[in-house]
């Protein structure tokens, strides 16, 4: 009986040494530190022919992350991030490049954006008259 009591005491002391003292209160899990000092910016961009996103089939898609550095599957991620930073992430504020002329041929192209820009959820959709108008208006953002 004495050996059993000694073993129980020894195991109890070992548990306290390894796990720390147990109290009646629940121990909270340590908070997870943010993995970055930058607010997340991760976007999925799509483009396809059609008058709206509900009926158009996406023909191309790219991912774009802008913090802390430009990355993703977008072929010109740095340029696209710079353009978006210049308008504060407001896709509607992207303007047409000066001096670009497009035909009036109506062949609608729709672009969409889903994701997070500097910690805020983003959902954007816009239909252009044709691919030339899309490329002239949003520059490198939808050039993938």
Domain assignment present for 21: no
Handedness of CA 18, 21, 24, 30 (dihedral sign): negative
Domain assignment present for 65: yes
Mean pLDDT of 114-120: 92
Number of domains in the chain: 1
Domain assignment present for 23: no
Domain assignment present for 25: no
> Cβ distance 88 to 120 under 8 Å?
no
- Residue, of 17 and 105, whose pLDDT is higher: 105
For residue 107, the model assigns a pLDDT of: 95
Domain assignment present for 31: no
Domain assignment present for 50: yes
Give the DSSP letter string of 77-131: HHHHHHHHHHTTT-GGG--PPTT---------EEEEEEEEETTEEEEEEEEESSH
* Per-residue pLDDT at 3 exceeds 60: no
Mean pLDDT of 57-61: 92
Domain assignment present for 103: yes
Greatest C-alpha distance within the chain: 97
The average confidence (pLDDT) of the chain is: 79
Mean pLDDT of 58-73: 92
Domain span holding position 52 = 42-138
> Cβ distance 104 to 129 under 8 Å?
yes
CATH number at residue 50: 3.30.350.10
Domain assignment present for 13: no
* Per-residue pLDDT at 57 exceeds 80: yes
């Amino acid at each position: 009986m004495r050996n059993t009591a000694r073993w129980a005491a020894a195991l109890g002391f070992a548990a306290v040494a390894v796990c720390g003292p147990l109290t009646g209160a629940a121990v909270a899990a340590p908070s997870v530190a943010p993995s970055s000092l930058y607010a997340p910016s991760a976007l999925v961009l799509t483009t396809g022919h059609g008058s709206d996103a509900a009926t158009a089939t996406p023909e191309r898609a790219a991912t774009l992350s802008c913090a802390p550095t430009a990355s993703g599957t977008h072929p010109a991620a740095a340029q696209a991030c710079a353009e978006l930073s210049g308008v504060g992430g407001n896709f509607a504020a992207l303007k047409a490049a000066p001096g670009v002329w497009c035909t009036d041929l109506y062949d609608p192209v729709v672009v969409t954006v889903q994701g997070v820009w500097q910690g805020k959820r983003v959902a954007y959709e816009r239909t252009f008259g044709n691919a030339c108008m899309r490329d002239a208006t949003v520059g490198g953002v939808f050039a993938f």
